[in-house]
Chains A and B, each alone.
Chain A
Amino acid sequence: MFPTPIAKRSRSWQLTYQSLLPVALIVWLLPLIAVAVFSIRPDSDFTNGNYWGMPSSFNFFENYGKVFFESDMPRYLLNSVFITIPTVLGTIALSAMTGFALGIYRFRGNLLIFFMFIAGNFVPFQILMVPVRDLTVNMNLYDTKTGLILFHIAFQTGFCTLFMRNFIRALPFPLIEAARVEGVREWQIFPYVVLPLMKPALAALAVLIFTFIWNDYFWAVVLTQGPDAQPVTAGITAFNSQYRAAYHLMSAGSIVAALPPVLMFFLMQKHFIAGLTLGAVK
């Protein structure tokens, strides 16, 4: 193990390390802690200039209550849910199939198609912006959740194909040959042989795509514009102009907007990290 395990060091080293950990963490998360503290302060603290002293009262329920009951936030949150979930399902379905085709079969153009997916995944969004917006407008899907979902599915399929294909490549190939010998039809290999083995990959991609899509901002402002379809990342700017300079409410709103992927991460940590660090170990 590197660096040398702390257990093998002197007692004073161990104590230093143990006390350094929480300090480092607090410094690292300082901007976030500041926002969390802002979000429970009462309005009067800001008018009195008491930004960093003790909060004069604990206003957690008042502030978060305002976010949930006196603003458009719940609508935006719901939009985010209705954009994110179908995208996750659609992307996983499409990329499980492409990954299967590219991972199992050898045919002319296999690597070329694979690299097309990877390359497409790396391009800057701006090169797609004008045509995709135009396409969405022409399909009468501008400012709808569907328009946003369709684009997200298509784009995320690039990254997910990379992931799925590499995962399927690592499966034991004799399994597929055995299925063929047993007389399983070629297309049935996917649902009956490969898919059951792919659960870890499906879970990892589901949490990753959930986070990516929930946190998307660029496409939300390009393809939607009002509280009918906009997800919470774009909605938060409208929320902030409604409560201009009311830092306690803006802070509470941001925390609410950021929370779902955070929960997802803590619940599915293992899968999340497995997805992110794909390829980091050979």
Chain B
Amino acid sequence: MSAPAPSNRSWYKRNEIAVTPWLFLIPGIAFFALYVIMPIFQSFWISFHEWDGLGEKTYVGTAHYERLFGIGDQNMDRKFETSFWNNLKWLVLYLLAIPMGLFIALFLNQTVRGIRIYKSLFFFPFVISQVVVGLVFSWFYLPREGLLNAVLGFFNLGSINILGDPTLATYGIIAAGLWPQTAYCMILYLTGLNAVDPEQVEAARLDGAKGWKMLWYVILPQLKPATFIAFVVTIIGALRSFDLISIMTNGGPFGSTRVLSFYMFEESLSEFGFRMGYGSAIATVLFFIMLGFIVYFLYSMWRDEKEAR
């Protein structure tokens, strides 16, 4: 070190332990604040304005929110309503990934030859990008060329055009999303099962516990951390669903597969003009839905953190 002013150096020396963490934190915090924390508040701000992304912002108060929820002498925005209900479908049905993942994990938790390769191949869908998963499933569902209808035809079950049917399309996309999500939950549970205390299992076995009872009373309580993480990632995944919808149906048919994240994108960056203000209002609603979950997740983590001390 080229000697800095002596008083300077002794100041650092005296406060070393207090100063050092901040030196290491500043770059990370600065980046994160600029790109993640501030934009959240900017979005709130923009949602009270009319803005095309280029010119001046015009303040419109809560007009966007009134339009979304149909306050006053207007109806609720129908596209928003559809998106909201679809989000709810996503949330509920996406959670199926957790029991499905557990089921596959239990199926694969054996020690036979080649089981490791089976585990990796079952996990495979999670590694592929959602864009490709979306393409793969939209081809799988194709009415003429798709494998699904080929299989249905083989069993003489007729044919369906899942993505062309407004009542089915959303479920078709959720099924595609469940594929990688189940794989993720499976790997969480496989790891959890690996750490299950064998002595407890043996003891329970001696007490005559088996099958469902064993699973429910002995195994599942020990898998609680894995279940918690599976729950967190699945909820977030459900509310973030965008790629699959954009690739598979682009919101159609007749707008039946829109969710809030997709509708927001459409309003803000569509070819019909950039309605950034209205888009931000939709994003804000989505954010507050998510915030409920975030607070719950953080509370759980904070509780664990306190126990650990």
CB distance from B257 to the nearest CB of A (A): 16
- Whether B25 contacts A102 by the Cβ 8 Å rule is yes
Number of interface residues of B (CB under 8 A): 104
Cβ-closest chain A residue relative to B153: A52
CB distance from A253 to the nearest CB of B (A): 9
Report if A236-B131 is in contact (Cβ < 8 Å); known contacts: A34-B140, A157-B31.
yes
Cβ-closest chain A residue relative to B198: A1
Number of CB contacts from chain A to chain B under 8 A: 288
Which of B15-23, B67-75, B91-99, B162-170 interfaces with chain A?
B15-23
Residues of A within 8 A of B297 (CB): 118, 122
A120 to B305, CA, bound (A): 19
Segment 135-180 of B: residues with Cβ below 8 Å from A:
135-137, 139-140, 144-145, 147, 150, 179
- Whether B127 contacts A2 by the Cβ 8 Å rule is no
Q: Is the interface of B mostly helix, strand, loop or mixed?
A: helix
Cβ-closest chain B residue relative to A169: B308
CB distance from B24 to the nearest CB of A (A): 4
Let me know if B62 is at the binding interface, CB within 8 A.
no
Segment 77-132 of A: residues with Cβ below 8 Å from B:
94-95, 97-98, 100-102, 104-105, 107, 110-111, 113, 115-120, 122-132
Let me know if B10 is at the binding interface, CB within 8 A.
no
Contact bitstring B103-134, A, C-beta under 8 A = 1, else 0: 00011011110010010111111011111100
Contact bitstring A10-52, B, C-beta under 8 A = 1, else 0: 0000000110010011001111101100100000001000011
CB distance from A165 to the nearest CB of B (A): 11
Residues of B within 8 A of A233 (CB): 129, 131
Which of A55-63, A64-72, A197-205, A258-266 interfaces with chain B?
A258-266
3 closest A-B pairs by beta carbon, nearest first, are A215-B129, A154-B35, A131-B39
26 of the cross-chain contacts (CB-CB < 8 Å) are A3-B106, A3-B110, A6-B112, A35-B136, A98-B29, A125-B242, A127-B284, A128-B35, A130-B268, A131-B46, A158-B32, A186-B19, A187-B20, A215-B130, A222-B269, A237-B247, A247-B139, A254-B136, A258-B128, A262-B128, A265-B120, A265-B127, A266-B120, A277-B188, A277-B192, A280-B188
A-contacting residues of B (Cβ < 8 Å)? 16-25, 27-29, 31-32, 34-40, 42-43, 46, 53, 106-107, 109-112, 115, 118, 120-125, 127-132, 135-137, 139-140, 144-145, 147, 150, 179, 184, 187-188, 191-196, 198, 201, 210, 214-215, 218-219, 225-226, 229, 236, 239-240, 242-243, 246-247, 260-261, 264-265, 268-269, 276, 279-280, 282-284, 286-287, 290, 293-294, 297-298, 301-302, 305
